[in-house]
Amino acid sequence: MIDRAPSLLAGKRAARMPPSERSPLQFPKLSESLTTLALLVFALAIRSAALLLWPDALVADPDGYRAVAENLARHGTFGNGDSPTAYRPPLYPLALIPCVAFAPASRVPIAGLHVALGLATVWFTYRLARMSGLDRGAWLAALLVACDPILLTQSALVMTETLAAFVAVASLFWIAKAGPGGQVRHAVIAGALVGLAILCRPTFLPWAGLVALLFVFDHHSAKDGLRRSFAFAGAVALVLFPWAARNQIHFGRPIVTTTHGGYTLLLANNPFFYEYLRGAPWGSVWENQSLDRQWSAEMPRGSPADELRADRLAYAKAIQAIRNEPGMFCYACVVRIGRLFGILPHQVATPESMSRRLLRYAVAAWYAAEFVLALYGLVWCLRQSCRLDFLQRWGAALSLVACFAAVHAVYWTDMRMRAPLMPVIAVFAAMGGMALRGIVSNRNL
């Protein structure tokens, strides 16, 4: 997990050092309050501009989250009419309820919610980077998150990415505070936030188990580490309990995630998609109409029990497709990992205007530079730390990336689904940028 920031005394000593003796991660001294205010003002400006300038921002409801929130506000049921559902995770629709109360002008409060979440994400990224030892260079990590193309794009859509990025970086911040030598109450806050992250996106669920395990590796006190591990896990369970209890009542099963996993697995593993992978040109978009037509004809529908049966049927069909073509499944896993960490957005408009094409290539250049810096920052950290220290500093952040990669290697994925990882990648990129800046500076002296 991430350790605490260097002491104030160490910072004062570094400030008195000649430039050639300063750490590569230090940056010219500025007022922290002024830096934070400037970052938030900049983030407010760019996030607001993205919503104001984006055509039809927050109009569509592609995954039905606003519809669920409106139904909950009108009928008191998380579902459709009086029929309950567990098809979507609950946190984002619950967050939308105060916004949809202003219907038909709900776009404005939703925009306000997304901007507020974006500002909080930038602030937590800045604080996380400071705790990681970046000192004044933490502004770079925050700027990368404020301007991130995926986060900007998703902030204009009624989808979970904006909220998921916030709970991810807030969780990492409190996990860092609860790290070696930390306090139990910080572990409880971290656990509650990770529980909320799971209710926002079930992909966080395996990460919760890994973080609980990481707390045990405390070189200060194994007993204290175990205590914080149990406190963290208990807080996660406590947050998930109401959703699981509600699903037990309606569906007869204590579902802690959703009934959407089966279709997501089927979408990523079916004969139509495997055939597309065999012959489609590189970079083309898979159109899943054939699968949707087949699934619509076979899917059980009606009662809440049918939702569970549909989920089980989708899992069964996906597993059968994997068994029939294990080689294609392995190849598809590689493709999905590539798409999760891809740098060039797919071409979705045909024909494509020159401005849209240049914008896609600009995004690719942005992510190419950020990923190179992040990789350099990761290598730099590995070389500077012993194994145990590296695990305690960076275990939670890297395990988050590993969990998302593992889950989305099997389930459906695209670039937007790495949105919760962007604060982590930004911190490593800032680490790499500041380390590289120090090397260049030293060479010039």
Query: Is the confidence at residue 386, as pLDDT, over 70?
Result: no
The burial of 169, by beta-carbon neighbours within 10 Å (0-12 exposed, 13-18 middle, 19 or more buried), is given as: buried
Mean pLDDT of 242-257: 96
Percent above pLDDT 90 for the chain: 70
pLDDT of residue 105: 81
Instruction: Tell me the C-alpha to C-alpha distance, in Å, between residue 222 and each of 211, 296, 352.
Output: 15, 53, 58
Residue 79, strand partner residues: 84
pLDDT per position as a tens digit, 411-426: 999 999 999 999 999 9
pLDDT of residue 388: 64
The burial of 443, by beta-carbon neighbours within 10 Å (0-12 exposed, 13-18 middle, 19 or more buried), is given as: exposed
pLDDT of residue 444: 36
Indicate the SS3 state at residue 80. Answer: strand
Residue 84, strand partner residues: 79
pLDDT per position as a tens digit, 132-182: 888 878 999 999 999 999 999 999 999 999 999 999 999 999 999 998 888
Q: For residue 393, name the pLDDT band (cuts at 50, 70, 90).
A: confident
pLDDT per position as a tens digit, 36-53: 899 999 999 999 999 999
Instruction: Tell me the C-alpha to C-alpha distance, in Å, between residue 52 and each of 55, 62, 215.
Output: 8, 20, 43
Mean pLDDT of 202-206: 97
Amino acid at position 396, single letter: A
Q: How many helices (H) and strands (E) does the chain have?
A: 19, 2
- 42: tokens are 């900049």
pLDDT of residue 9: 27
The burial of 94, by beta-carbon neighbours within 10 Å (0-12 exposed, 13-18 middle, 19 or more buried), is given as: middle
Cα separation, 145 vs 122, whole angstroms: 6
Cα separation, 355 vs 368, whole angstroms: 20
Q: In this structure, how many other beta carbons lie within 10 angstroms of the beta carbon of residue 16?
A: 8
Q: In this structure, how many other beta carbons lie within 10 angstroms of the beta carbon of residue 125?
A: 31
pLDDT of residue 425: 97
Query: Is the confidence at residue 442, as pLDDT, over 70?
Result: no
pLDDT of residue 432: 94
pLDDT per position as a tens digit, 355-369: 889 999 999 999 999
E strands, 282-378, are none
Query: Is the confidence at residue 124, as pLDDT, over 80?
Result: yes
pLDDT of residue 284: 78
Cα separation, 12 vs 17, whole angstroms: 9
Cα separation, 52 vs 406, whole angstroms: 36
- H helices present in 2-86, as ranges: 8-16, 32-53, 65-75
Mean pLDDT of 284-306: 85
Residue 356 in contact with residue 346, Cβ under 8 Å?
no
What is the value of pTM for the model shown? 0.90
Q: For residue 373, name the pLDDT band (cuts at 50, 70, 90).
A: very high
